[in-house]
Structure 1
């Protein structure tokens, strides 16, 4: 049976520049023939990862500084000190097919679970003596370095990189071109957030005054401009709980705790771009969660024709209305009778007969976990 958890959010941000392009301007996109404000999915995923309070030991790390992390752990946890510690670590990593460049960083960003990092540290400590290598100025290729690693280390290294039951790795997946066998397909898909309405970029011309300027010094010490916008966004995310359970190696308790934590983080996560300038800490006005039994449905086309606010009316309310109307239309054709909604609605615009109205974010997170628990028991 196919089962998907979908999250549909309507969120209005005050003037801000939460996610910039290469010119420093807020990201945007053309949708339905109109320019829309946009926040990239990569930006939103990082905000969720930084916000989420996943169970201890089940948070991933994305870094090139694996050598540094392992060195610190070997010193503090295992009491290892040696001039050739770095060489030992590199040999152990080579056994797993990972290389470290001359600057001490890995070739590319690695997305590892904490359990995987712990596993490498334990492996190196266990085989400390056999990983000792003679001093040599010759730089070996990745293939040669792996071939020179002790056979037992190579065998054990292959079992370490299994995702480490890290929830963010399991949710968002990872891809290592050199090690396709350790790739994980994402259990979560997150769309770029787009504004429900047409937007135009605005410019903030600013000056800064030199605090120590004398009376003879006139004018500003610095002049510049910052681009920004303000928009009501539609955010969409879906999770395949069966795939998430697979990525978590069948740990059902971790699955349910992870879904609770993800629901809370998704609602609370706000990108950090230019926040010291704009402080746009605006939570969603509407959060709808639907359990779908056929296939995921992104409702962005509800806003293909831009929303326009009538005089004296906010953009949030008509956005929520259009979202509900569009879901009703699509569900009549593509939906499943078992599909069910729960929602938080500060706009008071979502039809009350359409799902279970909840009063707090915690209740919504518990509802998500309970629906999946019930589905697994059925």
Structure 2
């Protein structure tokens, strides 16, 4: 039976444009018949991956890299070992496992799509190419080399690769099913776009010139977001080759990073560095349960004297209780609530909350 770890986060952002669409406007979506602010799943997962390394939650050896520039990366490593012009050998090594590269004018060739590989796999791959450099340089096929390259790329010792999965269009057998699912964040309330008109002042102008060197507008909004994600613990352990200790370390890092990570879009303009006011984490062996429908009817600030965030927390608890009674669920929510709205046991800080999660994982194990 699969065990699931879910997080439910309420996070109020000041005016911002954290995740924009192709027009430069904040992303949004229709939900419950009204327009909501939205932060995409891809944006949130990217912020989480950056937090793994930037916050020192996981080491480089426990993480991966997603890039089209694997040829350039491997070439740099091989040149450090004294190999000259290693690019043809690298391209041949990738070709043995059907990973094609595209030539570029005056630049190192790139793979046709992004490769998501563990840093350990990249290191091992450079070793394989170094050990078989002469054979690869001749362009001849070699079954032993193909097997060795296959084994390097198949490696999933990276926590982020194991969590978010990998798809290789040309080698489906090397795909990895994601252990984590992350929903698009949605505002708990109706949102209208606003527009900021700005001028950039020229510090040195002629008397006949205007001081404004540039005029423009930036669209933004302010919203209280509901964020949801879930991890299949058994899938994560399997993706990491059965390493339960690394899976547990990666899971706790994922939860902490998901709470602390903030998207970087237009932060130089808005500096919306706002941490969550509510974090709920549940551990159970049922099925994943999003509580987004708590906000099908939009929240308004007047519903709770504590404001929009407190009203959102209250609706979340009400909806969780309704679902629990109707379907006989035991969501087992462990909660940190800075609004003081949640009725029931809460934890004073994130460390205590994650400590409870870790203890529950030990009991479950």
TM-score by length of 2: 0.94
SS in 2 for 1:363: helix
Q: What is the match of residue 310 of structure 2?
A: 317
Residue in structure 2 matching 1:198, options 190, 194, 205: 190
Among 120, 123, 127, the alignment partner of 2:128 is 123
**1:102-153 Cα deviation digits (max 9, x unpaired):** 121111111111121112111111112222227xxxxxxxxxxxxx422210
Contact 1:289–1:342 (CA under 8 A) maintained in structure 2: yes
Q: Across the two proteins, how many residue pairs are aligned to each other?
A: 356
Matched, 1:60 2:60: no
Q: Following superposition of structure 1 onto structure 2, how do residues 204-215 of structure 1 map, counting pairs within 5 Å?
A: 204-215=196-207
User: Mind listing any 5+ residue stretches in structure 2 that lack a counterpart?
Assistant: none
Q: Distance in 2 between matches of 1:172 and 1:163?
A: 14
Q: Note the alpha carbon deviations across 1:281-318, whole angstroms, 9 max, x for none.
A: 00000000011221111000000000011196420001
Give yes or no for contact 2:202–2:211 (8 Å, CA) kept in 1: no
Match of 1:137 in 2: none
Partner SS for 1:197:
coil
For the 8 Å contact 1:259–1:368, the answer to whether it is kept is: no
Give the C-alpha shift of residue 164 in structure 1. Answer: 3.0
Which residue of structure 1 aligns with residue 249 of structure 2?
257
Counterpart secondary structure, 1:29: strand
* Structure 1 Cα separation of the partners of residues 271 and 185 of structure 2: 19
Structure 1: any 5+ residue segments left out of the alignment? 135-147
Calculate the aligned-residue CA RMSD, in Å.
1.5
Match of 1:222 in 2: 214
CA drift at 1:351: 1.3
Distance 1:313 1:327 in 2: 20
* Aligned twin of 1:5: 5
User: How far does the alpha carbon of each residue in 1:224-272 deviate from its partner, in whole angstroms, 9 at most, with x for none?
Assistant: 0000000000000001000000001000110111112111100110000
Q: Is the 8 A contact 1:28 1:38 kept in 2?
A: yes
CA drift of 1:374 comes to 1.8
Q: How does 1:1-378 map to 2 (within 5 A)?
A: 1-52=1-52, 53-76=57-80, 79-83=81-85, 85-103=86-104, 104-133=109-138, 148-310=140-302, 313-337=306-330, 339-353=331-345, 357-376=346-365
Question: Is the contact made by 2:279 and 2:335 (CA closer than 8 Å) also made in structure 1?
Answer: yes
Partners of 2:120 and 2:157 within 8 A in 1: yes
Q: 1:60 to 1:334 in 2, by over 3 A?
A: farther
**Alpha-carbon displacement from aligned partner over 1:337-357 (angstroms, at most 9, x marks no partner):** 4x422111111111124xxx2
For residues 100 and 356 of structure 2, what CA distance do their matches in structure 1 show?
44
Question: How far apart are 1:335 and its partner, in Å?
Answer: 4.3
Deviation at 1:219, TM superposition (A): 4.8
Distance 1:49 1:18 in 2: 16
TM-score by length of 1: 0.91
Deviation at 1:61, TM superposition (A): 0.5
- Asked whether the 8 Å contact 2:2–2:233 carries over to 1, the reply is no
CA separation of 1:80 and 1:365: change in aligned 2, threshold 3 A: farther
CA distance in structure 2 between the partners assigned to 1:333 and 1:243 by the alignment? 29
Q: Shift of the alpha carbon at 1:163?
A: 3.7
